[in-house]
Amino acid sequence: MSTMTIAKAINEGLRASLTNNPKSLLMGEDIGPLGGVYRVTDGLVREFGVDRVVDTPLAESGIVGTAIGLALRGYRPICEIQFDGFVFPGFNQITTQLAKMHSRSGGKLTVPVVIRIPYGGGIGSIEHHSESPEALFAHTAGLRIITPSNAHDAYWMIQQAVDCTDPVIFFEPKRRYWLKGEVDTDAPGPASDPFQAHVLREGSDATIVAYGPLVPVALAAAAAAEEDGRSIEVIDLRSISPIDFDTVTASAKKTGRLIVAHEAPTFGGIGGEISARISERAFLHLEAPVIRVGGFHMPYPVAKVEEDYLPDIDKLLEALDRSLAY
């Protein structure tokens, strides 16, 4: 066991992947001597050399497109997209090429590419640096999408992403990069399947499902509700595609009330998908409609007002009140 930040845990996870898998390599902008704008790849080029930690030209379609070619040659590229809002020049390569290659080849080709994307707001940054575009990728079959919320998961899930035969988008909760946690580097522990949700806190009155940066918020809201005598279950989804509906359904059936929280806008989002599936699977167990807590239908607002935009403890408590009063 050792204590480290999420950023350091990803760094150590990448180091382990590069060590254990000679075909893996990192690609991205400024990931070499600088170690990435968030220093997640700090020190790796010194250790593994420029053939395996590749500073690329400044072109996201180029990064993803060449990663696909490397994967076709038998490599396992791990791409860093510098910020969430900059993934879109690579969107075509991800959705029309990477996601479909296995399918259109009749299963003959595999493209085990990992795309790391720091995502989410709350860092007081400028335009295009605080977005949560996960739903845009979740709608595309062929991709897997996972996101850790703590250091231990970050360390193991990045390695599991590299080992996965399918393309994986690895969303990193950037405002939690410096959140420290215990990491067992010897073993991932029980329930280590990266596509499985984790019940972080058991409860009986209502369930909050969250992922990535909002998991600590959900836990804090549950703790605050407990002071009012409410017993709240908290689920860390961990995987956005596929979604572990079995775990969510079991919890919804148990508590009868479900809140889904994410930073991304609620319209057309992951919360809507979970809400629909749970209404299909647990309709007669529900005591209240599934409530979504998320961003508004607007471009991510300027930093000075992002506190109003982002889901926080109060918004979650308000949603719990509504659900419990229904």
Partner 1 sequence: MGSTQLPTPGINGTGLDQQSPAGGSSSDPAAEMIQLLGPDGKLGTDPVFSDYAKRLDPEQLRGFYADMAKVRRFDQEATALQRQGELALWVPLTGQEAAQIGSGRATQRQDYIFPTYREHGVALTRDVDLAELLKLFRGISNGGWDPTENNFHLYTLVLAAQTLHSVGYAMGIQRDQKLAEANGSNDPKAAVVAYFGDGASSEGDVHESMVFAASYNAPVVFFCQNNHWAISVPTEVQTKVPLFNRAKGYGFPGIRVDGNDVIAVHAVTEWALEHAREGRGPVLIEAYTYRVGAHTTADDPTKYRETAEETAWRGKDPLDRLEKYLRNEGLADDAFFEQVKVDGDKLAAHVRSTTQSLQGPDFRESFAGVYAEPHPLVAEELAWFEEYSAGFEGDEEEGTSN
Give me the least distance between CB of 238 and partner 1, in Å please. Answer: 14
**Alpha helices per DSSP H over the chain:** 6-20, 44-48, 60-72, 91-92, 101-104, 134-138, 151-163, 215-227, 245-255, 270-282, 306-309, 313-325
146-175 binders of partner 1 (CB under 8 A): 164-166
**Region near partner 1 per CB under 8 A, out of 68-76, 148-156, 229-237, 289-297:** 68-76
Pick one of 86, 88, 91, 245: the residue that binds partner 1 (CB under 8 A): 245
Q: Is 204 in the site for partner 1 (CB under 8 A)?
A: no
Q: Using CA atoms, how far apart are residues 198 and 272, in angstroms rounded to an integer?
A: 20
The dihedral region occupied by 163, where left means phi > 0, alpha psi between -120 and 50, and beta the remainder, is alpha
Instruction: Pick the closest to residue 238 from 145, 113, 120 (CA basis).
Output: 145
Q: Is 247 in the site for partner 1 (CB under 8 A)?
A: no
Site string for partner 1, 260-299 (x = CB under 8 A): ----------------------------------------
What HEC string does 222-288 produce? HHHHHHCCCCEEEEECCEEECCCHHHHHHHHHHHCCEEEEEEEECCCCHHHHHHHHHHHHHHHHCCC
Q: Is 61 in the site for partner 1 (CB under 8 A)?
A: yes
Give me the least distance between CB of 122 and partner 1, in Å please. Answer: 30
* Helix (H/G/I), strand (E/B), else coil: 195: coil
* Helix (H/G/I), strand (E/B), else coil: 169: strand
**Region near partner 1 per CB under 8 A, out of 12-20, 72-80, 181-189, 248-256:** 72-80
Q: Which is nearer to partner 1, 41 or 66 (CB)?
A: 66
Give me the least distance between CB of 212 and partner 1, in Å please. Answer: 20
Q: Is 129 a catalytic residue?
A: yes
Q: Using CA atoms, how far apart are residues 239 and 220, in angstroms rounded to an integer?
A: 21
Q: Is 190 in the site for partner 1 (CB under 8 A)?
A: no
CA-based torsion, 7, 13, 18, 23: positive or negative: negative
Q: Are 64 and 111 in contact (CB under 8 A)?
A: no
Q: What are phi and psi of 98, to 5 degrees?
A: -60, -45
Number of residues that bind partner 1 (CB under 8 A): 47
211-240 binders of partner 1 (CB under 8 A): none
Q: Which is nearer to partner 1, 91 or 315 (CB)?
A: 91
Q: Which is nearer to partner 1, 43 or 242 (CB)?
A: 242
Pick one of 70, 157, 158, 222: the residue that binds partner 1 (CB under 8 A): 70
* Positions marked catalytic: 129
Q: What are the residues binding partner 1 (CB under 8 A)?
A: 25, 51, 56-57, 59, 61-62, 64-75, 77, 89, 92-93, 96-97, 100, 102-110, 141-142, 144, 164-166, 195, 242-246
